[in-house]
C-alpha cells in the first residue's frame, strides 16, 4: 500500500486578470493570475493498493456528499494516467479532512496526491506528468509539487521560492460552500485589468503577503461572516487575515504556533453556541527547513 497527504493549498496573495476572450489564445475562457502559494502541514489522506477493480472509497469528517464515481478527481487522475501507461487496477481510499469547495485546493490536492501515488506504477517523463496535471485543473500542477511558489499563467507556470520559511496560522472555514464560477462572474463585472498585478517579491512570507492581496476576497459575502473579524480581534493579536482562493476559507497568521493553538481554543469556546459548525485548524504554512 502507498499513501500520500493532499496538503491544503493556501493563496497568501491572489492577483487576477480579465477573462481571456480571444479564442486563439491558449488561455481562452480562463483568468490569468499571479499568486504566492504555500502549503499547510495538514490535508486529506489518500492511499491505494492493487485490487481486482479500480475503485474509490471515502471517509473522514467531510466525506458526506463527496462523489466516488469517475467524476471524482482521484479517479479522473487514474484515467488520465491510464491513457498513457498501463496501470494495474487500484483501490483508493480517501480520508477527507478538508472542507469541500473551500478555496484550499481540496479536490485539486487529491488529484495531485493521486498522481504522486501513480508514479509508483507508471514511468512517464516530467513533461507528461505536468501535461496530465494541467489537464485535470488549474490548481493541480502547483498541488503536484506542494512547495512554496509563485503560480502564474492559469496555474501552470511555477516559480519556486525555496528558503522562505514557515508561518504559524489558523485555517478557518464557515462551512458554507462557495461557487468559484459565481465569484469569478462577480469579478468580471468589476471591469478588472487585463493582466494580474505583479507580485511584490520579498524575502519574508508575511511581508510578501501583506504587500499583496486577494482580488476575489471582497466578492465573497454571507451573513455567516458578520462579526467574524471582530471575534478574531477579541481573542488574539493576528498578524494577517486573508481569504484563500475563491473562498470561503480564511488564513489567520500568528507570531508563534502556540499563539495559533491558543486562538483556536478561544475561538471554539467563543463560537460553541454561535458558530458551532465552523472549522478551525491550526497549521504551519510553507516549506519545512
**Which residues are part of the catalytic machinery?**
9, 139
Three-state DSSP state, 209: helix
Cis peptide before 248 (omega within 30 of 0): yes
d(CA 46, CA 106): 12
DSSP 39-96: EEEEEEEEEEEE-SS-EEEEESTT-TT---STTSHHHHHHHHHHTTS----EEEEEE-
| CA distance linking residue 140 with residue 115, whole number of Å | 10
3-state class (DSSP) for residue 153: strand
Secondary structure element (H or E) that encloses residue 172, with its range = strand 166-173
Amino acid at each position: 500500500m502507498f499513501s500520500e497527504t493532499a496538503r491544503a493549498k493556501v493563496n497568501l496573495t491572489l492577483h487576477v486578470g480579465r477573462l481571456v476572450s480571444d479564442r486563439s489564445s491558449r488561455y481562452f475562457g480562463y483568468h490569468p493570475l499571479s499568486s504566492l502559494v504555500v502549503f499547510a502541514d495538514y490535508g486529506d489522506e489518500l492511499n491505494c493498493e492493487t485490487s481486482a477493480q479500480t475503485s474509490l472509497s471515502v471517509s473522514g469528517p467531510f466525506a458526506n456528499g463527496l462523489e466516488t464515481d469517475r467524476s471524482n478527481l482521484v479517479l479522473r487522475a487514474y484515467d488520465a494516467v491510464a491513457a498513457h501507461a498501463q496501470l494495474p487496477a487500484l483501490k483508493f481510499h480517501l480520508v477527507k479532512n478538508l472542507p469541500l469547495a473551500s478555496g484550499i485546493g481540496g479536490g485539486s490536492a487529491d488529484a495531485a496526491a493521486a498522481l504522486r501515488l501513480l508514479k509508483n506504477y507508471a514511468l512517464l517523463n516530467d513533461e507528461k506528468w505536468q501535461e496530465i496535471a494541467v489537464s485535470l485543473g488549474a490548481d493541480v500542477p502547483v498541488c503536484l509539487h506542494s512547495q512554496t511558489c509563485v503560480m502564474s499563467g492559469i496555474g501552470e507556470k511555477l516559480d519556486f521560492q525555496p528558503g522562505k520559511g514557515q508561518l504559524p496560522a489558523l485555517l478557518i472555514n464557515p462551512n458554507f460552500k462557495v461557487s468559484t464560477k459565481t465569484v469569478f462572474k462577480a469579478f468580471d463585472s468589476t471591469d478588472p485589468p487585463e493582466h494580474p498585478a505583479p507580485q511584490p517579491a520579498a524575502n519574508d512570507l508575511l511581508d510578501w503577503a501583506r504587500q499583496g492581496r486577494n482580488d476575489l476576497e471582497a466578492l465573497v459575502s454571507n451573513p455567516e461572516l458578520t462579526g467574524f473579524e471582530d471575534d478574531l480581534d477579541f481573542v488574539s493579536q493576528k498578524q494577517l487575515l486573508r481569504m484563500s482562493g475563491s473562498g470561503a476559507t480564511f488564513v489567520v497568521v500568528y507570531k508563534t504556533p502556540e499563539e495559533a493553538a491558543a486562538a483556536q481554543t478561544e475561538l471554539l469556546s467563543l463560537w460553541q453556541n454561535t458558530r458551532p459548525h465552523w472549522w478551525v485548524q491550526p497549521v504551519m504554512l510553507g516549506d519545512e527547513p
